[in-house]
Amino acid sequence: MKDNLNLLFICSRNQWRSPTGEAIWRKRPGFKSRSAGTSPNARRTVGPADIRRADYIFIMEKKHKNRLLADFSRIMNYKQLYVLDIPDEYKYMDQELVDELQCKVAAILEGQTNS
């Protein structure tokens, strides 16, 4: 396994959910994280470089997956997406959101690194 895994967290406007994921995983050794949004009005809009760099792409809802596949179909052929099914009901660093992100992302990463 490489020294650092690059994680990309994506939601719609890059305001609450994806920046929370980025903040949580940025603090952990062995990980680098970024966040972006699929909306043109996002605080930071996802681009091809974000996708190329990512080892794991975590998206909050299925609609984000559909948007990525539509906008970046060629690049996405080589990437795995993980839909976390986290609705847009939280604020930045809301404890329930933090808990959910930690649990779901850790389960995916552990499943991948152990196989």
The string of pLDDT tens digits covering residues 53-108 is 999 999 999 999 999 999 999 999 888 899 999 999 999 999 999 999 999 999 99
Q: Kindly state the DSSP code that residue 4 receives in the 8-state scheme.
A: S
Residue 36: which H helix or E strand, with range? strand 31-37
State the Cα–Cα distance between residues 86 and 98, nearest whole angstrom: 11
Q: What pLDDT is attached to residue 82? A: 97
Give backbone dihedrals phi and psi of 91, rounded to 5 degrees, phi first: -100, 170
Q: What pLDDT is attached to residue 114? A: 56
Q: Give pTM, 2 decimals.
A: 0.93
Q: What is Dmax (Cα atoms) for the chain?
A: 38
> According to CATH, what is the number of the domain 5-113?
3.40.50.2300
State yes or no: pLDDT of 115 exceeds 80: no
Residue entry with tokens 């990980």: 31
